Amino acid sequence: MTFPLNSFSQYVVVKDACSSENSGAPSVITAAAGLDNVKVTGQTIDRKQSNGALAHSMSVCTAWVAALTDTKTMSLAHEIQESDDGSTWDTAEAIEAATVKVTSDGGGNERGEEEYAVDLMSRKRYFRINVTLDLNAANTDTASFHTVAVMGGFDILPQ
């Protein structure tokens, strides 16, 4: 399927207009252990495509599932870091500060997805998305999440 880009009848295939990047392996977290309330650093993502085009925007999506005991919560925080060379990183900037995403009502499995639009126009070539998941129970609750960045709005046509 193609969509018109402007009145000059230029078309682009949707799969060519986007680029999806895995920002890190799925993380399994147990309350009060290991990675609970610890920042998980995402993979380095290059926003430059093989044709030299730079992505101007992205959607960050974190899918999560949690097994929570009654009245316990799960919080998520997202941040972005950027780099000129993919190895020396600037100080991270919050996309969203730690926010409670779910409070269990009776205990059991909870699931959800968080999405954030991020402007990349003034960003450096490389970036990574860091995520902190916090369970407020002790030793019983668990959660897993996976984060993906979908980039679009490349600056060279056709995309």
DSSP, collapsed to helix, strand or coil, labels residue 16 as helix
- What tokens were used for 126? 């490389």
More confident residue, 21 or 152: 152
- Could you tell me if residue 6 is inside a domain? no
Per-residue pLDDT at 124: 96
What is the tally of structural domains in the chain?
1
Q: Is the residue at 72 inside a domain?
A: yes
Q: In CATH, what number is assigned to the domain containing residue 62? A: 2.60.120.1310
| SS3 state at 17 | helix
Is the residue at 13 inside a domain? no
Q: What's the pLDDT score for residue 140?
A: 85
Q: What does the pLDDT look like over 62-81, one tens digit per residue?
A: 999 999 999 999 999 999 99
How sure is the predictor about 52, in pLDDT bands with cuts at 50, 70 and 90?
Answer: confident
Does residue 138 sit within a domain? yes
Burial 98-128 (b: 16+ CB within 10 A, else e): eeebbebeeeeebeeebeeebebeebeebbb
* Token pair listed for 64: 């999560």
Q: Which domain holds residue 144?
A: 18-152
Would you say residue 5 lies in a domain? no
What is the rounded CA–CA span in Å between residue 39 and residue 36?
9
Q: Domain for residue 1, yes or no?
A: no
Q: Which residue has the higher pLDDT, 14 or 45?
A: 45
Q: Is residue 58 part of a domain?
A: yes
Q: Do 27 and 47 touch, CB atoms closer than 8 A?
A: no
**Which of the four pLDDT bands, split at 50, 70 and 90, describes residue 22?**
low
Note whether residue 80 is domain-resident: yes
Distances (CA, A) of 68 to 28, 29, 113: 14, 12, 16
- Residue type for 71, please? T
